[in-house]
Amino acid sequence: LKKNGVEFSLFDNVTSNPVEENVWAGVAHFQEERCDSIIALGGGSPIDVAKAIGLMATHQPPMAQYDDKFDGWKLVRPIMPPLIAIPTTSGTGSEVGRSTVITLKATQRKTVIFSPHLLPRVALCDPELTLKLPPHITAATGMDALTHCVEAYLAKGYHPMCDGIALQGMRLIAKSLLRAVHYGDDVDARTSMMMAASMGAVAFQKGLGVCHSLAHPLSTIAGLHHGLANAIMLPYVLEFNQSAAPERLVDIAAALDGKKDEPAAAIVKRLNKFAGIPDKLSVAGVKAEQVPAMVEQAFEDASHLLNPRSVSKDDLKNLCEKALL
């Protein structure tokens, strides 16, 4: 930008698991500096905040009215500033997604705001930007991408295009995640992971599932990185979904290049182990006393509505307790 004489102003007040306060600080900065467009450089959090800044700089508050759970997308108009997304992680796929996830101050709940108008105008995906990503972040974000692909493939509904994209994303991750974790300068592995992350985000336009419903409160209540929360919960969710989608779980196991007749959940557990991800929530710092509040938030989270097996509060409690200790 400097070389080409483009004026810009840097805003970097973004937290992991972004909150509403980040957005309003960004809106104030955008307006004070009289900006006309936004470039989001970073992982899913900066890109999500950039989308929300563009929304709230051009739309009336409160932010809660745009909650997808209440059809807030109907209020979003195509008047937002142009957004260019440049991801530096390979996980959320927010650079090609039509939603942003922000924790609202009033509810302390991760809230999905969806609209086609939130889609960045341009996504510049350069795997070389991920070469210095630490192994634990590479692992967590990579498992986030895998969870997107897996839950999209399992989600209720008929969408063969999303299904095909999800399966190919799983294949890329199975071949490349551990290489990217343990050999961070492997450009081919980093390229495959970046493509898989974008593919996962395209695929989950079909829907997600109960793993994401649990991952959201694991972030807001227990402070877990979103990808880490998904990674730990995914094997338990796959076991839970076995009775509802046995054929699809066989497809997932095949895409992940598992051994003959090996369950998908076992393959994911093994992948987590070699990526350095704990198999229990307690190891990541989650406390038993946090479970009731997480169950309440997870049940209110719309992601599980497209899970192949219907979910009750007792189911959510049992999943948390199995994953805890």
Over the stretch 47-77, which tens digit does the pLDDT of each residue have? 999 999 999 999 999 999 999 989 999 999 9
Examine the fold and report which residue of 123, 145, 173 is the final residue of a domain before the chain moves on: 123
What's the pLDDT band for 120 if we cut at 50, 70, 90?
Answer: very high
Nearest CA-CA partner of 18 in 124, 112, 115: 112
pLDDT given at position 277: 98
Which domain CATH number covers 296?
1.20.1090.10
Confidence of residue 155 (pLDDT cuts 50, 70, 90): very high
pLDDT score, position 157: 93
* Confidence tier at 261 by pLDDT (50, 70, 90): confident
Mean pLDDT of 123-134: 98
> Do 264 and 161 fall into the same domain?
yes
Distance CA 90, CA 142 (A): 6
If asked whether residues 294 and 252 sit together in one domain, one would say yes
Whole-angstrom distance, CA of residue 22 vs CA of residue 18: 7
* Cβ–Cβ < 8 Å for 137, 96: no
Scan for tokens 């307790």, then name that residue.
321
- My answer on whether 195 and 107 are in the same domain is no
Contact 289, 198 (CB under 8 A): no
The pLDDT tens digits for 181-190 are 999 999 999 9
Residue 257 has pLDDT above 90, yes or no: no
Please tell me whether residues 89 and 210 are part of one structural domain: no
Predicted confidence (pLDDT) per residue in 262-319, tens digit? 999 999 999 999 999 999 999 999 999 999 999 999 999 999 999 999 999 999 999 9
pLDDT, residue 260, reads 75
Among 226, 140, 230, residue whose Cα is nearest residue 181: 140
Q: How far apart are CA 53 and CA 59, in angstroms?
A: 10
Of 90, 123, 156, which residue constitutes the final position of a domain?
123
At residue 125, the 3 state secondary structure works out as coil
173 and 320 share a domain? yes
Q: For residue 5, is it within any domain?
A: no
Please report, rounded to a whole number, the percentage of residues in the chain having pLDDT higher than 70: 100
**How confident is the model over 75-104, as a mean pLDDT?**
97
Three-state secondary-structure class, residue 109: coil
- In the prediction, which pLDDT does 259 show? 75
Q: Does residue 236 surpass a pLDDT of 90?
A: yes
Place of tokens 């440049």: 86
At 29, which CATH number? 3.40.50.1970
Q: At residue 229, does pLDDT exceed 80?
A: yes
**How many residues would you count in the chain?**
325
Least confident of 86-100, 128-142, 177-191, 255-269: 255-269
Confidence of residue 252 (pLDDT cuts 50, 70, 90): very high
Regarding whether 107 and 84 lie in a shared domain, the answer is yes
Q: What is the mean pLDDT of residues 170-183?
A: 98
Judge whether 13 lies within some domain: no
- Report the number of distinct structural domains present in the chain: 2
**260 vs 10 pLDDT, higher one:** 10
Question: pLDDT band at 134, cuts 50/70/90?
Answer: very high
Tokens of 67: 């909650």
Q: Which residues 6+ apart lie within 8 Å of 27 measured at CB?
A: 53, 56, 57
Identity of the residue numbered 149: C
The reported pTM is: 0.95
Report which residue type is found at 295. Answer: V
- DSSP secondary structure of 239-298: HHHTTT-HHHHHHHHHHTTPPTT--HHHHHHHHHHHHT--SSTGGGT--GGGHHHHHHHH
Given a cut of 80, is residue 258 above it in pLDDT? no
**Mean pLDDT of all residues in 109-121:** 96
- 29 and 140: one domain? no
Other beta carbons within 10 angstroms of residue 314's beta carbon come to 9
For all residues of the chain together, what is the average pLDDT?
Answer: 97
The whole domain housing 70 covers 20-123
pLDDT for 300 equals 95
Reference 211, options 145, 289, 116, 286; nearest CA is: 145
Distance CA 18, CA 112 (A): 12
Query: Is there a domain that residue 299 lies in?
Result: yes
Is residue 114 assigned to a domain? yes
Nearest to 132 by CA among 195, 186, 193, 194: 186
Residue 14 tokens, joined: 């973004």
- Is residue 130 within 8 A of residue 157, CB to CB? The reply is no
User: Do residue 191 and residue 115 come from a single domain?
Assistant: no
